[in-house]
Amino acid sequence: MTGRVPELSLAAHTYGSPKDRAAFSRDLMRGLQAYGFIVLTDHGVPQRVLDDAYRLAEELFALPEATKRASAGGLRGYTPFGTEHAKGVATPDLKEFWQIGREDAKTPGDGTFPANVWPEQPAGFRATFRALYDALDAAGLTLLEALAPELGLPKNHFNAMVRSGNSILRLLHYPPIAGDVEPGAVRAAAHEDINFITLLVAAKGAGLELLDRDGTWLPVETDPKNLIVDSGDMLARLTNDVIPATTHRVVNPAGPNVSRYSMPFFMHPRDDVTLSCLPSCVGDGAKYPEITAGAFLAERLRDIGLAT
Largest CA distance in the chain: 56
User: For residues 26 and 147, what is the distance between their CA atoms, to the nearest angstrom?
Assistant: 8
Least Cα distance to 96 among 306, 246, 300, 302 occurs for 306
Low pLDDT (below 50) residues in the chain: 1-2, 108-110
Burial annotation 56-72 (CB, 10 A radius, 16+ → b, else e): bbeebbebeeeebeebe
pLDDT of residue 281: 96
pLDDT of residue 204: 74
Q: Is the Cα torsion angle 75, 78, 84, 87 positive or negative in sign?
A: positive
Number of Cβ within a 10 Å radius of residue 125: 21
Q: According to the CATH classification, is domain 7-303 in 2.60.120.330?
A: yes
pLDDT of residue 2: 46
pLDDT of residue 91: 94
pLDDT of residue 43: 96
Using CB atoms within 10 Å of the CB of residue 170, give its burial: 0 to 12 exposed, 13 to 18 middle, 19+ buried: middle
pLDDT of residue 186: 95
pLDDT of residue 3: 63
What's CA 302's distance to the chain center, in Å? 18
**Residue 149 DSSP one-character state:** G
User: For residues 197 and 246, what is the distance between their CA atoms, to the nearest angstrom?
Assistant: 11
pLDDT of residue 112: 60
